[in-house]
Amino acid sequence: MAYDACRFPRLGPGYAVFRRWRRTGLVKELHDRLRGKVRVAQGRQVEPTAGIIDSQSVKAAASVPAASRGYDGGKKIHGRRRHVIADTLGLILMVMVTAANVTDRQATRDMLPRLRTRFRKIALVWADGGYTGRLVGWAKEKLQLTVEIVKRNDGMNGFVVLPRRWVVERTMGWLMRSRRLVRDFEALPAGSEAFIDFSATMLCPPPGPHRPKGPAPQPVVAGEDDARGVNRPVGDAASQSRSASRFARERTPSIFAGTSSSPNRAAISFAEIPSAPAAGSASTNSTIRR
């Protein structure tokens, strides 16, 4: 396929911009600000008070050096491991990429102090059985942070949705929708973390459109003019009720549009179409003349 300069920038300038954004922290800043707006729109505070931690092992491409890759004996994967801390909405609070042979407890000892410094109000972190041990007491004593282990019961067989843990597992499933994150292609772990932040930014849908204050829109009575001055055709009461319901749905803001298990990845804000020019104006006359 021929190179299209209008669609794809050259590798050198494009990577230079990405590297500058990664080094200056602009990628993370963009994600953090959008996450705060989504939390406020959902009725939460900007700073979370609880989180969920989990890890995910992925295969590494040939471009990943041997110094930053390892073998995960439990998952039998040779590559890297992504350690993710999400809030109760599933939005990422912190991510760290290590070699796959780094255990969950080892990575958590590095992440929790940074998490406590970044989010001063956080006091509770849910985790799975891989984080048991002295880590729980260490976090309580040194960081005043409660690490609560959510374990499977002995009678559970097969796949079971566990309380709280499913939130971060769903988040990692959302990340795997990004083709760049199906496996690790980056030479540096910091590059992998930046692409995870990019993907998490796309998972944060923008807040819904602003609704003006005032009474709820009323269905248009048959034969009356609507706001645009166009006389609507006369219909029965059922059709008017359906139109009113559709009118309200289109103007109701929704943070996670679509299904409850996945956010709207194509939420785009369109500008309103300008109204038609008044009769007798210059543009109307010129159109008629043409």
**CA distances (Å), 282 to each of 35, 198, 229, 230, 289, in order?**
47, 47, 21, 22, 10
pTM of the complete model: 0.67
Q: Tokens 């289109």 label which residue?
A: 250
Q: What is the per-residue pLDDT for 262?
A: 41
* Strand runs labelled E in the chain: 50-59, 70-72, 77-86, 92-99, 124-127, 146-149
Q: What is the per-residue pLDDT for 286?
A: 41
Q: What is the per-residue pLDDT for 5?
A: 57
| Averaged pLDDT for residues 73-100 | 94
6-15, 144-153, 193-202, range with the lowest pLDDT: 6-15
| Averaged pLDDT for residues 182-196 | 94
Name residue 29's amino acid.
E
Which domains does the chain possess? 11-203 (3.30.420.10)
Q: Which long-range contacts (CB under 8 A, 24 or more apart) does 133-142 make?
A: 133/105, 135/105, 135/108, 135/109, 138/109, 139/112, 142/113
Quick: pLDDT tens for 220-245: 444 443 344 444 444 445 555 555 55
1-15, 26-40, 42-56, 105-119, range with the lowest pLDDT: 1-15
Is 150 a residue whose pLDDT tops 80? Answer: yes
Dihedral (CA of 81, 85, 88, 93) sign: negative
**CA distances (Å), 82 to each of 70, 124, 155, 229, 241, in order?**
12, 21, 30, 57, 50
Q: What is the per-residue pLDDT for 198?
A: 92
72-81, 104-113, 257-266, range with the lowest pLDDT: 257-266
Q: What is the per-residue pLDDT for 202?
A: 86
CA–CA separation, 93 vs 108, rounded Å? 14
Q: Tokens 């491991």 label which residue?
A: 81
| Averaged pLDDT for residues 34-62 | 93
Percentages of the chain per state (helix, strand, coil), in multiples of 5: 40, 15, 45
Instruction: Tell me the CA end-to-end span of the chain in Å, nearest whole number.
Output: 42
**CA distances (Å), 144 to each of 94, 136, 137, in order?**
19, 10, 10
Q: What is the per-residue pLDDT for 45?
A: 92
pLDDT band (50, 70, 90) for residue 113: very high
| Helices then strands, each counted (H, E), the chain | 8, 6
